[in-house]
Chains A and B, each alone.
Chain A
C-alpha cells in the first residue's frame, strides 16, 4: 500500500493530467452528441418549413 501512495505521490502531475484529459474527453463527447442532435433537429425543422 505504501508503494502505491509513494508511486502516486511521485507521479502526481500524471494523475492530474489523466483526470484533466478524461474531463476534456467527456466535455468533447457531450458537445459532439449535442452537435449530432442539433443537426437532426435542424433537418426536421427545415422539412417542416418545406
Chain B
C-alpha cells in the first residue's frame, strides 16, 4: 500500500478527480425540475451562469489558503531564520497570485453574462483588484532587494501584514457593502447560493471541486518548493 502511495498513482487519481469536476461542472445540465442524479436545479437570478460556482469559488478558496500558508511560513521564517521557510512562503504567495488572477478572470467572465459587462467596480471586484495590487507589490519588493537575508526578512514582514487585509477584502467588505455579487449586503436575489439554492447533487460536486482543487494546490506547491529548493542549493554550490 505504501509502495502504491509513493508511486505516481495518487497523481493519476487527482487527474481523474479534476477531470470529473470539469465534466460535471461544464456538461451536467441545469433543469427546472431535476429528475436524474446529474441534473442541477435552476437557481433564480443565476440560470446557466450558476455553473461558474464549480470553478470560481474553488479558485478564490485556494487564493485564501495559499496566502494564509504564505503568511504561516513567513512567521516560521521570522522565528527560525531558516531560508527554506522563505522559499516555502514565496512559492505559496506565487500560487496565491495565480489563483487570484484565475478567480478574477472567471468572475469577470461570469459578470459579462450576468451583469452585461466584464468589470463594474463592484465591491467584490474592487476588493480582489486591491488584493492583486497588494500581493503584486510583494513580488516587486522581492525583486528589488539583492541581499538574500534582507529580502527574506522584509518580504516575511510584508507578507504577514498583507494577509491581515485578506479576510477584510474577501469576507467582510463585499458582505457589508451593497453590490451586484451574490452575498452582498442588499442581495435579495441569488445568495446565499450554497446553503439554500443547491440540491444535494450540486452541493456534492461543489464540495468535491473544493477538495480536488485543494489537493491540486498542495501538489503544485510541493513541486514549486522542490524546484526553488534545488535552484537555491545549486546556486550555492
Contacts and interface: CB of A to CB of B under 8 A. Distances in A.
Contacts of A42: 226, 230
Contact of A21 (B11, B19, B226): B19
Interface of A: 13-14, 16-17, 20-21, 24, 28, 31-32, 34-35, 38, 41-42, 45
A36 to B, nearest CB: 9
Given A45-B230, A45-B233, 19 more contacts: A13-B27, A14-B27, A20-B26, A21-B22, A24-B15, A24-B22, A28-B15, A28-B18, A31-B11, A31-B219, A32-B11, A34-B223, A35-B8, A35-B11, A35-B223, A38-B223, A38-B227, A41-B230, A42-B230
Interface string B161-185: 0000000000000000000000000
A34 to B, nearest CB: 6
Interface residues of B, number: 17
Contacts of B140: none
A35 B219 CA distance: 10
Contacts of B204: none
Interchain residue pairs A-B with the least CB separation, the first 6: A17-B26, A38-B226, A28-B15, A17-B27, A41-B230, A20-B22
B31 to A, nearest CB: 14
Contacts of A28: 11, 15, 18
A45 B19 CA distance: 35
B23 interface: yes
Given A24-B18, A24-B19, A38 B26 contact: no
